[in-house]
Amino acid sequence: MNGFEEYFAMGGDGRFIWSAYAVAALVLIGLAVASVWSYRARRSEFNVLQELDGGAPRSDDGNP
């Protein structure tokens, strides 16, 4: 059991190291959630615009 305590204490700097890991994890999770929300909003907007356009796909050369 003492080995785990020493590992997590990391020579007395554990609170700084583990808090840095926690902050980094929260930032990454926040970025992932924001990306999903943004994707859903853009996808919804795209679907609305596609319905307004009649839903017909367009060719790459700009001609309908």
pLDDT given at position 38: 97
**Do residues 39 and 33 touch, judged by C-beta distance below 8 A?**
no
Residues 13-51 pLDDT 10s = 888 999 999 999 999 999 999 999 999 999 999 999 999
d(CA 64, CA 52): 15
pLDDT at 8 over 90: no
Taking residue 44's Cβ as centre, other Cβ atoms within 10 Å add up to: 10
What does pTM read for this prediction? Answer: 0.66
Out of 4-8, 43-47, 60-64, the most confident range is 43-47
Residues 6+ apart with CB under 8 A from 64: 56, 58
- The DSSP letter of residue 8 is H
